[in-house]
Amino acid sequence: MEISIQTQEIESLEKQLIEAIKKSDIPFLESVIHEDLRFIAPNGLIVTKEMDLDSHKNKTMLVESIVSKLEEIQIINDTAIVLIVYDTKGTMLGNPIEGRFRYLRVWKQFSNGYQIIAGSCIKIES
């Protein structure tokens, strides 16, 4: 497989991801989240793909509002590291969430496309 990740592709995927999160678009989320995802939530909880998808299916992940600001995309071989800030309000895994959060998300290129393999989120000052 030839490795040729383009920043624009990742930026487009991030925009699609935000829309999918807002709408709980399970088919899209299923396609871009890797089976072995590990994501650290703001409270320290380790979130798996199954937990993430279940939160959308069970409506314990609800977005009332979300505004994003892409800070950085760093390409390393077949992997992209994304730093993005969300101003958001809603419910995450059944818990109310509101404020400004910085996400670190890791996308990896596979033969069938890009998938998120890891990430984390922390609350930051406004």
pLDDT of residue 4: 67
6-60 tens-digit pLDDT = 999 999 999 999 999 999 999 999 999 999 999 999 889 999 999 999 999 998 8
Task: Provide CATH code, domain 7-124.
Answer: 3.10.450.50
Residue 43, classed as helix, strand or coil, is: coil
- The pTM (predicted TM-score) of the whole model is 0.91
Query: What does the domain layout of the chain look like in residue ranges?
Result: 7-124
Determine the Cα–Cα distance for residues 26 and 52; give it in Å rounded to an integer: 10
Q: What angle do CA 62, 51, 15 make, to 5 degrees?
A: 55
What's at 103, amino acid-wise? Answer: Y
64-80 tens-digit pLDDT = 999 999 999 999 999 99
